[in-house]
Amino acid sequence: MKITGIESIVVNAQMRNWVFVKVLTDQDGLYGWGEATLNWKTRAVTGAVEDLAPLLIGRDPRDIAQACRVMQKQSYYRLGIIGMTAISGIEHALWDIAGKALGVPVWRLLGGRVRDKVRLYTHLGLGDMSAVYETFDAGQLTERAQAVLEAGYDALKVVFIPYAGATASPAALRHVERLGRALRDAVGEDTEVMVDFHGRPATVSASLGFIRALEPLAPMFCEEPIQPGDTEGLVQIVAASRSPIATGERLVGVREFADLLQRRAAHILQPDLNHCGGLLEAQKIAAFAEVAQVGIAPHNPNGPLAGIAALHYAVATPNFVIQEAMPGSVPWYHDVVRQPVQREGGFWPVPDLPGFGVEVDEKEAAKHPFQQEVLHAQNALLEDGTVVDW
């Protein structure tokens, strides 16, 4: 069996352009689907897929580890988030081919089932991006949280940490505390709530101020309390925080996670399977994390193929905690994919079809061609006009 071609299909989903990757083989009707979505970097990623394709043409698609080594080591330059996202999408498709060729689901190839269902959470607005990133009012917050619960979820994530500089003002801290208390009162004690800081606090002290303000909420975890790359800062936050700390969505490859794990700088890691290098790399990250007694809660605000890949990974990952999913981000989310997995309350069932068990409807996908995504980052300003982290 040989790879004969690698294609990418862009599907505009407002906040993001989904990048679907299709790997073709010389076997009639045998091909694989993956996803390489990276917000605001669509053209760069599709270009990277084209650049990587010649390295794999003629190779056996079932030699997945070898394919990943070729793409990383024979690219010469170190691959950052764009290159590793392209590799991830291609790698997903190779797993899909391998599963289809053997007639088994991908999770079976990843070591087999370690759970009977996969727990999910979603965001305010059930994936609507304006609700996700622009809910700073207590009334809207509780109303949108109730809508998530009414949809059957028992876990949700919020993003209401204000844009911050080196310090957190008393007014900002009180407002975050009020939002946390209102949210907990609205959803009750049985609902898990995660708070995404989005790396907005510029210092450890500012971050810890917000973490302490959230203690009445008792979050499942506080995510990205500072910008990625500051391992020493995370060590200080973990030591001082009463809430679990999560991070990792912007890291790629097991090496970038290694320092965090060696320093015990997080309680939960969030590799994005679209960006970290794919499922094989994510398995290495999970194994390393298990040794360090760290949980895995993969990041995934992307499209339906990314969600399916994450589902198969979760089925086979012992230290998995919970999976992010945004199936309501556009009304036609499931139209572009045939045989989508159906959520059962706050869980996904274990799939049993060969490969990932899904197929892209290319005619439906073509109805949503590339467009410039909606940019929310233009609001990341302080009152005096200083540009800060989104």
d(CA 251, CA 266): 13
Question: Residue 63: in which H helix or E strand, if any?
Answer: none
Question: What is residue 337's three-state secondary structure?
Answer: strand
Closest CA to 290 of 308, 316, 323: 316
**Would you say 254 and 285 are in contact if contact means Cβ atoms under 8 Å apart?**
yes
Amino acid identity of 26?
D
Phi, psi for 272 (deg, rounded to 5): -95, 120
Structure tokens given for 59: 């190779």
The catalytic position among 92, 267, 275, 299 is: 299
d(CA 209, CA 72): 41
Number of helices (H), then strands (E), in the chain: 13, 14
Rg (CA), the chain: 20
Phi, psi for 210 (deg, rounded to 5): -70, -40
Residue 92 a catalytic site member: no
d(CA 266, CA 235): 8
The catalytic position among 123, 198, 275, 312 is: 198
**H-state helical runs in the chain:** 42-56, 64-73, 81-102, 106-109, 129-133, 138-150, 170-187, 204-213, 231-240, 253-262, 279-291, 304-315, 362-365
Structure tokens given for 353: 């079809």
Amino acid identity of 388?
V
- For residue 361, how many other CB atoms are within 10 A of its CB? 14
Closest CA to 305 of 347, 344, 343, 356: 356
Residue 198 a catalytic site member: yes
Q: Please, is 190 exposed, middle or buried when counting C-beta atoms within 10 Å of its C-beta (0-12, 13-18, 19+)?
A: exposed
Closest CA to 105 of 347, 306, 360, 357: 357
**Would you say 298 and 282 are in contact if contact means Cβ atoms under 8 Å apart?**
yes
Q: What would you measure as the largest C-alpha separation in the chain, in angstroms? A: 65
List the catalytic residues. 198, 299
